[in-house]
Amino acid sequence: MRLEQRRRIQVPLEPSLAADKGEQLQTFLARPLRPLRGLLDPARLRAAADQRYLYRSRPYAVAGWTLQPQVTLEALWDGERLTIRQLEARVEGLGEWQERLQFGLEASIWPREAGLEAEARVWAELPAAAAPLAAPVLRLALLQLLDRLERRCQRGLRRRAEAWLSRSAQAS
């Protein structure tokens, strides 16, 4: 059984910085480590190989469970948008459930007129027999993951992009 959630996120930037900056925002997104450091704790993010990154999340609680995801991400810029895909995931704290569940994440970020826009899709696959017990907890976990991602877009990604635009304007 597959459970899936999506969210589209508008990330408005400071108008004085974002006005007519589509090309500069593309340059910001073209180096994936820039936006990734806004979305994820830079101290927990490591470059692994060409366009691949390892991230170990802080532990967090979901319905009485304490979970700590560790993921391998691929981040690719195609000239118009940055696409971030989870390649591998391991969630500590699931015990025997770790082998029964699969998780996924795919997100895209692109410039828009007044800032950035993002879309994220998260999912979990579980055996049908486990669905009655696990599905409610997994739905909650997926929604919490999207909530965290939205907060990180509105705070960290926004701050990182605005700081980069400000430095770019000063250098010009």
At 100-127, the pLDDT tens digits run 788 899 999 999 988 999 999 999 998 8
What's the average model confidence in pLDDT over 71-83? 97
At 11-70, the pLDDT tens digits run 999 988 777 788 999 999 999 999 999 999 999 999 998 899 999 988 878 777 788 889
pLDDT value at residue 172: 66
pLDDT value at residue 16: 83
Rounded distance between C-alpha atoms, residue 153 and residue 147, angstroms: 10
What's the average model confidence in pLDDT over 154-172? 91
- Those residues whose C-beta lies under 8 Å from the C-beta of residue 87, and which sit 6 or more positions away, are 52, 71, 72, 73, 74
Closest C-alpha among 165, 167, 166, 161 to residue 37? 161
What's the average model confidence in pLDDT over 2-14? 96
Task: Go through the domains of the chain in sequence order and give each one's CATH number.
Answer: 2-171 (3.30.530.20)
Instruction: pLDDT band for 3, please (50, 70, 90 cuts).
Output: very high
Tokens 């994440």 belong to residue = 105
Q: Which residue has better confidence, 169 or 9?
A: 9
Does the pLDDT at position 130 exceed 90?
A: no
* CA 7 to centroid of chain Cα atoms: 11
What's the average model confidence in pLDDT over 142-149? 93
